[in-house]
Structure 1
Amino acid sequence: MLQKALDLVRLDFAPAHEQPSGARLAVATVVALAGSLLADALLVAIAQAALPATKGYEHFQFADYAKLTVIGVLIACVAWPVTTRITSAPRWMFLRMAVLVTLVLWLPDVWILIKGQPAKAVAVLFVMHVAIALVTYNALVLLAPVRTPGRHATRRPQPARP
C-alpha cells in the first residue's frame, strides 16, 4: 500500500537524471526573485489604478509583500533541487507542489477576508500568489533543468578533429 502511494505521487528516490547545476540554480533564483517582485509591484499598480479604493491598502506596501515574497521564493528555490533528487518526474511533482502550496498560502488571505479586509484588495493578494507561483515555477524548471546523465549543461561535445 505504501508503494502504491509513492507511485501515485511519483516519489521513487531513483532519478536517472542529474541535479541542476549550481550556477543555473543561482540564476533561476535571481530571476524568480526579481520576476516575482516585479509581478507583485505590477499587480499592485494595476489594482490601485483600476480599483481606487485599494490605494493605501496596508498589504500593498512594498515592504509588506516583498519580505513574504522573498521568503516564499527562496523556499521554492531550495525545494526544486530536493524535488529533482527524490523523483524521476520532478517537473510533474514540482507543479503539483506549487499548486498545493499556493492553495495553502491562500488560507491567510481567506482569514483576513473573513476578518473584514476589503474583498477587492484580498482578491489581488490571491492573484499575487498565483503570479509568484507561475514566475517561480517557470524560472526554476526552465532555467535550472535537470541534466541528462553524464552530460553537463555547460559542456558540449567537441567535434572530432581529422
Structure 2
Amino acid sequence: MTTDKIIIKNAFLITFLIGGFFLLCKLVGLEENPYLRFLNLAFVLFGIYLAIKESVYKNNETKYTTNLGIGIRTSVIAVILSIIGVVIYVQFINPDFLTVMNNSFLIGGNLTLPEVVITLLIEGMASSFIGSFIIMQFYKNHDKENLNK
C-alpha cells in the first residue's frame, strides 16, 4: 500500500473516531464535559500507531524518519479534518457550542470561532508531534531482520 493511502486511511479513521465519540457524548448529554476531550488524544495515538505499524509491516519501511513523518502527517491531516468538523458544527448545527467550549478550562476565555480554531490547531499539532515521537519509541529499534519473514 502506498504511503499516501496509509496516511489518508488512518487520518480519516482518527477523524471518524473523534467525531463519533463526540456524537456519542452528545447523545448521552456529556458533550459539555471537558475532561472527555482528553480521550481525543487516545484516538490520535491509536491512528498514529496503526499508520506506522502498517508502514513497517506492509511496506517493510524501517527508517525512523520516514515512519515518524508518516505518523506526523497522519495526525496533522486528522487534526485539520476534525477542526473543519468543529467549524461546521458550530456554524451550521449548534452555534451555542462555542459558549460551551469557551467555558471549558481547556480553552477558557471569551474567544471567537477563529481564535478557537487557532487554539485547537496549536493543541492538535502539539499532540501530533508528541504522539508520533511516543509511538516511534516502540518502532525505533524494531527487529528489521524479521520483517521479511
TM (normalized to structure 2)?
A: 0.49
| Greater Rg over alpha carbons, structure | 1
TM (normalized to structure 1)?
A: 0.46
Could you say which structure has the higher helix fraction? 2
